[in-house]
Amino acid sequence: MNILIVDDNKFHALDIEMALIDSGFTDIVSVPSVEQAFERIELKAPQLAYIDLQLSDSSGYELVPKLKSVGAYVFLVTGFPENSNVNKSLELEIDGFLTKPVSVEEIQFHTKKVLNEINKGSQHFFYSNNKIQKIRIKDIQYLQAEGNYTSIYLNDRKIVMKRSLKGILSEISSEELIQVFRSTAVNKNSIKLIDFKNSVVETIYDQSFILGRAYRKIIKSKFNYKGITDSILKP
Protein backbone atom coordinates (compact mmCIF):
# COMPACT_ATOMS: atom_id res chain seq x y z
CA MET A 1 0.00 0.00 0.00
CA ASN A 2 1.32 3.44 -0.99
CA ILE A 3 1.43 5.77 2.05
CA LEU A 4 2.15 9.50 2.28
CA ILE A 5 3.23 11.34 5.45
CA VAL A 6 3.21 15.15 5.51
CA ASP A 7 4.81 16.71 8.60
CA ASP A 8 7.36 19.52 8.93
CA ASN A 9 8.66 18.05 12.18
CA LYS A 10 11.04 15.30 11.08
CA PHE A 11 10.86 13.54 14.44
CA HIS A 12 7.04 13.34 14.40
CA ALA A 13 7.15 12.13 10.79
CA LEU A 14 9.76 9.53 11.71
CA ASP A 15 7.58 8.23 14.56
CA ILE A 16 4.76 7.53 12.10
CA GLU A 17 7.11 6.10 9.47
CA MET A 18 8.77 3.72 11.94
CA ALA A 19 5.37 2.54 13.22
CA LEU A 20 4.38 1.72 9.64
CA ILE A 21 7.70 0.01 8.87
CA ASP A 22 7.40 -2.06 12.07
CA SER A 23 3.95 -3.13 10.84
CA GLY A 24 5.43 -4.44 7.60
CA PHE A 25 4.97 -1.52 5.17
CA THR A 26 7.74 -0.26 2.89
CA ASP A 27 6.09 1.97 0.26
CA ILE A 28 6.18 5.11 2.40
CA VAL A 29 7.09 8.68 1.41
CA SER A 30 7.48 11.53 3.90
CA VAL A 31 7.53 15.22 2.87
CA PRO A 32 7.64 18.39 5.04
CA SER A 33 5.36 20.78 3.13
CA VAL A 34 2.04 21.17 1.31
CA GLU A 35 3.87 22.14 -1.89
CA GLN A 36 5.97 18.98 -1.89
CA ALA A 37 2.92 16.92 -0.99
CA PHE A 38 1.04 18.18 -4.06
CA GLU A 39 4.04 17.28 -6.21
CA ARG A 40 4.16 13.79 -4.71
CA ILE A 41 0.44 13.21 -5.21
CA GLU A 42 0.79 14.13 -8.89
CA LEU A 43 3.73 11.76 -9.23
CA LYS A 44 2.12 8.82 -7.41
CA ALA A 45 -1.30 9.01 -5.78
CA PRO A 46 -1.25 7.56 -2.24
CA GLN A 47 -3.89 5.19 -0.91
CA LEU A 48 -3.41 6.41 2.66
CA ALA A 49 -2.13 9.74 4.04
CA TYR A 50 -1.19 10.97 7.50
CA ILE A 51 -1.18 14.79 7.40
CA ASP A 52 -0.03 17.21 10.10
CA LEU A 53 -2.82 19.73 10.60
CA GLN A 54 -0.50 22.66 11.37
CA LEU A 55 2.27 22.85 8.80
CA SER A 56 4.73 25.75 8.57
CA ASP A 57 3.65 26.74 5.04
CA SER A 58 -0.09 26.05 5.33
CA SER A 59 -2.85 23.98 6.93
CA GLY A 60 -3.13 20.25 6.37
CA TYR A 61 -6.75 20.87 5.39
CA GLU A 62 -5.53 22.26 2.03
CA LEU A 63 -4.35 18.82 0.96
CA VAL A 64 -7.55 16.97 1.78
CA PRO A 65 -9.62 17.75 -1.38
CA LYS A 66 -6.74 16.68 -3.63
CA LEU A 67 -6.14 13.50 -1.66
CA LYS A 68 -9.83 12.62 -1.67
CA SER A 69 -10.00 13.22 -5.43
CA VAL A 70 -7.47 10.42 -5.95
CA GLY A 71 -9.31 8.09 -3.56
CA ALA A 72 -6.94 8.31 -0.58
CA TYR A 73 -7.91 7.71 3.03
CA VAL A 74 -6.87 10.75 5.07
CA PHE A 75 -5.99 11.04 8.76
CA LEU A 76 -5.04 14.42 10.22
CA VAL A 77 -2.45 14.52 12.99
CA THR A 78 -2.63 17.33 15.54
CA GLY A 79 -1.13 18.29 18.87
CA PHE A 80 -4.26 20.27 19.69
CA PRO A 81 -7.34 18.04 19.25
CA GLU A 82 -9.63 20.75 20.58
CA ASN A 83 -8.77 22.84 17.50
CA SER A 84 -10.03 20.23 15.06
CA ASN A 85 -12.97 21.61 13.09
CA VAL A 86 -15.76 19.01 13.21
CA ASN A 87 -17.90 20.65 10.52
CA LYS A 88 -14.96 21.06 8.18
CA SER A 89 -13.88 17.47 8.81
CA LEU A 90 -17.34 16.20 7.87
CA GLU A 91 -17.45 18.41 4.79
CA LEU A 92 -14.05 17.17 3.57
CA GLU A 93 -14.83 13.54 4.51
CA ILE A 94 -11.72 13.19 6.66
CA ASP A 95 -11.33 9.63 7.93
CA GLY A 96 -10.08 10.55 11.39
CA PHE A 97 -7.81 12.50 13.73
CA LEU A 98 -4.73 11.30 15.59
CA THR A 99 -3.29 13.20 18.55
CA LYS A 100 0.44 13.72 18.99
CA PRO A 101 2.43 11.89 20.16
CA VAL A 102 0.96 9.20 17.90
CA SER A 103 1.25 5.65 19.25
CA VAL A 104 2.21 2.58 17.24
CA GLU A 105 -1.10 1.01 18.24
CA GLU A 106 -3.08 3.94 16.76
CA ILE A 107 -1.18 3.77 13.48
CA GLN A 108 -1.62 0.01 13.23
CA PHE A 109 -5.32 0.19 14.06
CA HIS A 110 -6.10 2.82 11.41
CA THR A 111 -3.85 1.26 8.77
CA LYS A 112 -5.40 -2.18 9.27
CA LYS A 113 -8.87 -0.63 9.04
CA VAL A 114 -8.01 1.05 5.73
CA LEU A 115 -6.53 -2.17 4.32
CA ASN A 116 -9.72 -4.04 5.16
CA GLU A 117 -11.82 -1.35 3.50
CA ILE A 118 -9.71 -1.42 0.34
CA ASN A 119 -9.68 -5.23 0.15
CA LYS A 120 -13.18 -5.92 1.46
CA GLY A 121 -14.51 -9.27 0.29
CA SER A 122 -11.18 -10.63 -0.94
CA GLN A 123 -8.69 -10.30 1.91
CA HIS A 124 -8.73 -9.68 5.66
CA PHE A 125 -5.92 -8.08 7.67
CA PHE A 126 -5.13 -8.75 11.33
CA TYR A 127 -2.29 -8.43 13.86
CA SER A 128 0.11 -11.23 14.66
CA ASN A 129 3.56 -10.89 16.26
CA ASN A 130 3.28 -7.08 16.01
CA LYS A 131 2.88 -7.28 12.24
CA ILE A 132 -0.16 -6.75 10.04
CA GLN A 133 -0.87 -10.12 8.41
CA LYS A 134 -3.39 -10.98 5.71
CA ILE A 135 -5.80 -13.81 5.00
CA ARG A 136 -7.30 -14.46 1.60
CA ILE A 137 -11.03 -15.07 2.06
CA LYS A 138 -10.99 -17.85 -0.53
CA ASP A 139 -8.45 -19.75 1.61
CA ILE A 140 -10.79 -19.91 4.61
CA GLN A 141 -12.47 -23.32 5.03
CA TYR A 142 -14.37 -22.58 8.23
CA LEU A 143 -14.34 -20.67 11.54
CA GLN A 144 -14.96 -22.28 14.92
CA ALA A 145 -15.51 -20.35 18.16
CA GLU A 146 -14.84 -21.57 21.67
CA GLY A 147 -15.25 -19.21 24.61
CA ASN A 148 -13.57 -15.86 23.86
CA TYR A 149 -11.45 -17.32 21.06
CA THR A 150 -12.17 -18.10 17.40
CA SER A 151 -10.07 -20.41 15.23
CA ILE A 152 -9.87 -19.67 11.51
CA TYR A 153 -9.06 -22.81 9.52
CA LEU A 154 -7.27 -22.06 6.26
CA ASN A 155 -6.14 -24.37 3.49
CA ASP A 156 -2.61 -24.48 4.92
CA ARG A 157 -2.83 -23.41 8.58
CA LYS A 158 -4.95 -22.42 11.56
CA ILE A 159 -5.09 -18.94 13.12
CA VAL A 160 -6.48 -18.36 16.60
CA MET A 161 -7.83 -14.91 17.53
CA LYS A 162 -9.08 -13.57 20.83
CA ARG A 163 -12.30 -12.42 19.21
CA SER A 164 -15.89 -13.60 19.08
CA LEU A 165 -17.13 -15.27 15.91
CA LYS A 166 -19.71 -12.51 15.51
CA GLY A 167 -17.01 -9.85 15.77
CA ILE A 168 -14.76 -11.48 13.19
CA LEU A 169 -17.59 -12.05 10.70
CA SER A 170 -18.67 -8.42 11.13
CA GLU A 171 -15.14 -7.17 10.52
CA ILE A 172 -14.45 -9.42 7.53
CA SER A 173 -17.89 -8.65 6.09
CA SER A 174 -17.74 -11.22 3.28
CA GLU A 175 -20.69 -12.79 1.51
CA GLU A 176 -18.59 -15.95 1.17
CA LEU A 177 -18.70 -16.75 4.90
CA ILE A 178 -21.98 -18.19 6.15
CA GLN A 179 -22.79 -18.82 9.80
CA VAL A 180 -24.37 -22.25 10.18
CA PHE A 181 -24.35 -22.55 13.97
CA ARG A 182 -23.80 -20.18 16.89
CA SER A 183 -20.15 -21.21 17.04
CA THR A 184 -19.48 -22.09 13.39
CA ALA A 185 -19.22 -20.33 10.04
CA VAL A 186 -18.33 -22.02 6.74
CA ASN A 187 -17.01 -20.75 3.43
CA LYS A 188 -19.95 -20.83 1.03
CA ASN A 189 -17.74 -22.20 -1.75
CA SER A 190 -16.65 -25.20 0.34
CA ILE A 191 -20.19 -26.49 1.02
CA LYS A 192 -20.97 -29.81 -0.68
CA LEU A 193 -24.51 -30.24 0.60
CA ILE A 194 -26.91 -29.01 3.25
CA ASP A 195 -29.28 -31.56 4.77
CA PHE A 196 -32.12 -29.49 6.27
CA LYS A 197 -33.95 -32.56 7.52
CA ASN A 198 -31.03 -33.86 9.58
CA SER A 199 -29.56 -30.39 10.31
CA VAL A 200 -26.16 -31.12 8.80
CA VAL A 201 -23.79 -29.14 6.59
CA GLU A 202 -21.13 -31.12 4.70
CA THR A 203 -18.10 -29.61 2.97
CA ILE A 204 -15.87 -30.70 0.11
CA TYR A 205 -13.17 -31.29 2.74
CA ASP A 206 -15.20 -34.18 4.23
CA GLN A 207 -16.17 -32.18 7.29
CA SER A 208 -19.65 -32.08 8.81
CA PHE A 209 -21.17 -29.31 10.94
CA ILE A 210 -24.42 -28.92 12.84
CA LEU A 211 -26.95 -26.65 11.12
CA GLY A 212 -28.73 -24.44 13.64
CA ARG A 213 -32.42 -23.73 13.04
CA ALA A 214 -31.84 -20.01 13.52
CA TYR A 215 -29.59 -19.93 10.42
CA ARG A 216 -31.74 -21.87 7.93
CA LYS A 217 -33.59 -18.89 6.49
CA ILE A 218 -30.51 -16.83 5.70
CA ILE A 219 -28.74 -19.90 4.25
CA LYS A 220 -31.67 -20.56 1.91
CA SER A 221 -31.59 -16.94 0.76
CA LYS A 222 -27.82 -17.09 0.19
CA PHE A 223 -28.28 -20.03 -2.18
CA ASN A 224 -31.59 -18.79 -3.59
CA TYR A 225 -33.17 -22.06 -2.37
CA LYS A 226 -36.82 -22.38 -3.43
CA GLY A 227 -37.62 -25.74 -1.85
CA ILE A 228 -41.08 -25.84 -0.27
CA THR A 229 -40.19 -28.63 2.16
CA ASP A 230 -36.99 -29.22 4.07
CA SER A 231 -34.73 -31.47 2.03
CA ILE A 232 -31.19 -31.59 0.71
CA LEU A 233 -29.56 -28.61 -0.97
CA LYS A 234 -26.59 -29.25 -3.24
CA PRO A 235 -24.98 -25.93 -4.28
Q: How far apart are CA 157 and CA 150, in angstroms?
A: 14
| Dist CA 193 CA 196 (whole Å) | 10
Q: Is the pLDDT of residue 228 over 70?
A: no
Q: Where are the domains of the chain?
A: 3-118, 123-233
* Structure confidence at residue 88 as a pLDDT band (50, 70, 90): low
pLDDT tens-digit series, residues 39-86: 999 999 999 999 998 888 788 889 999 999 999 999 999 876 555 555
SS3 7: coil
CATH code at 3-118: 3.40.50.2300
**Which 3 state secondary structure label does DSSP give 158?**
strand
Q: 3-state class of 223 per DSSP?
A: coil
Residue with the bigger pLDDT between 102 and 83: it is 102
Distances (CA, A) of 188 to 61, 129, 143, 201: 44, 30, 12, 11
State the greatest distance between any 2 C-alpha atoms of the chain, in Å, as a whole number. Answer: 71
Dump pLDDT digits (tens) for 172-197: 878 899 999 999 999 999 999 999 99
Q: Across the chain, what does the average pLDDT equal?
A: 87
Q: Which CATH class is domain 123-233?
A: mainly beta
